[in-house]
Structure formats: structure tokens, C-alpha cells
Homo-oligomer: A and B are copies of this chain.
Amino acid sequence: MADKARLSLNQITTNRWSVAEAADACARHGVRSIALWRHKIEEVGLEACVRAVRDAGLHVSSVCRGGMFPAPSAKERAERIEDNFRAVDEAAALGADSLVMVVGGCGEIELGDARKMVADGIAALVPYARERGVKVGLEPLHPMYAADRSVLVTIGQALELAKAYDPSGLGVILDTFHIWWDPQVENLIEQAAGRIYGFHVSDWLVPLPDVLMGRGMMGDGVIDNRKLRTLVEKAGYGGPIEVEIFNQLIWDSDPEAVLIQIIERFEKFV
């Protein structure tokens, strides 16, 4: 059983809450870590968020998200890298374990070119992040998001991209929703040892209700979160475990009830 002390609320799961509301609820329910989203940070300002998590005694497991590097013009790509610098600044101010990268989809850009733009963006970002003490976490997304969200789709691809960098600066974020299907998942998690910056859990519902908004609460789908958690631990990761669920029904529910269920399901299925 996973130690509840490792549970982190990824605030998108309780999307109706502001940063302060989510932080307060975590404190009341004994959840020690939280992951913040940039659009939520922007709602109230960075300083207010730093205060909110400090007042609640919380650790920030990650800031979501940097990335989105591929764009048709050099100007747009430069703007996106600049925006990633701002994300690094926010992660630094919050003392987050890492800045999560959702690298961007290919859209109208040729897939190989889009992947090169991602590599270029990472190359620009990592030194900036290192100077500010921020770890950059590459999150391979499920291949069904390759066109619109992330041309980075496997752990293997993330490790290939990361290997040119020091393991203390560029690593991977492993989310069970995105990686559970991979026939190589056991070997790849083992190979990721020393570069695992974060671990996310949720579940894969059958049938999948929606491509983006159809993730399930742990225990409601087919993912063996406990097995994957054990593999990640064997590879040396002992940090926070984020519960990150994109699901309209869950977002529409009472966030307090959702948090209570997260804790129950975390202890039962993770």
C-alpha cells in the first residue's frame, strides 16, 4: 500500500477549486503535497499562491505545465520558449520538485519537424532551468495525443531525448494513464532510474468516455496502478504521487467529496 504521506493532489482533479481552496483542503485532509496549474496560478498571482501553499504547510510536487514547443514560425517558437522561461520562474518561486513538460502536438507540422522543434525547445530551456534550480520533467503522453498535445509519446522516446543532459536537470514524469499499455513498460521504467521526477496515477475506463476528459478514478478502470507504482519505486523513485484526473463528471462533482474519494482510492489501489 502506498503511504498516504506521498499523495499529492494535482489541482486539475478538483478543477472548481482555486489554488487557495485546494491548498486549504489538502491541509484539512492530511494531504501533504499539491501540484499547481499555471492558469490557476495566473488567476490570483504567483505571490498569493506561494503564500497559500506555505500557509497550508504544503510541498509543491510540480507545476503544470511547460512545453508546447512546435509552431509554424520561428517567432512563435521563440515566444513559446520565452513562456517556458516564465513557467520555470514560477516553479522556482514555488519550490516545485519539477516543471512538467507537455511538449506539444504536431498539428499541421510534419511529425519529424515537430519532434525537432521539441528537442530545440528543451535545449533552450534546460540551462535556464538549471540556473534557477528547476528540474525539467518530460511527460510522455498517450499516443492518442500525438497530433494535438504531445509528439512525445513513449518513455523510450523521452529517455532518448533526455540522455544528452545531466540526470539532475532533465528527467521524466511517468503517468500511468499514458504509459500502462506499453509492452516495454517494465524495462523502460527500469531504464529511467535516476531520471524519474514524478509519478501520476488515475485509471483507464472501458469504454473510454472521451479522448481528453475520460480519465477515471483509480480502481474504476483497467490500470494496475499498484504494480506500476512498485516498478517506479524499484527504479528509485520515492517522491510524491500525484492524482491527476481529467474527467468532466469528476470536475462537476463536489471537490471535497472528490478529495475524500481520492484518499480512499489511493490507499486501496495505489
A interface residues with partner B (beta carbon < 8 Å): 105-108, 110-111, 115, 142-144, 146-148, 153-154, 156-157, 160, 180-184, 204, 206-208, 211, 221-222, 224
* A156 with B183: CB separation less than 8 A: yes
Main SS of chain A's interface residues? loop
Given A110-B224, A142-B144, A153-B181: A208 touches B206 (CB 8 Å cut-off): no
Given contacts A143-B182, A146-B181, 5 further A-B contacts (CB under 8 A): A144-B144, A144-B211, A147-B204, A147-B222, A156-B184
* A222 with B107: CB separation less than 8 A: yes
* B144 with A206: CB separation less than 8 A: no
How many copies of this chain does one complex carry?
2
* A207 with B148: CB separation less than 8 A: yes
Query: What are the nearest 4 A-B pairs in CB distance?
Result: A146-B181, A143-B181, A157-B183, A144-B144
Q: When the two chains form the complex, which single residue of B108, B111, B154, B211 contacts A211, counting CB atoms closer than 8 Å?
A: B211
* B181 with A222: CB separation less than 8 A: no
Contacts of A208 in B (CB 8 A): 144, 147, 211
User: Which among A115, A146, A183, A211 has the greatest number of chain B C-beta atoms within 10 A?
Assistant: A183
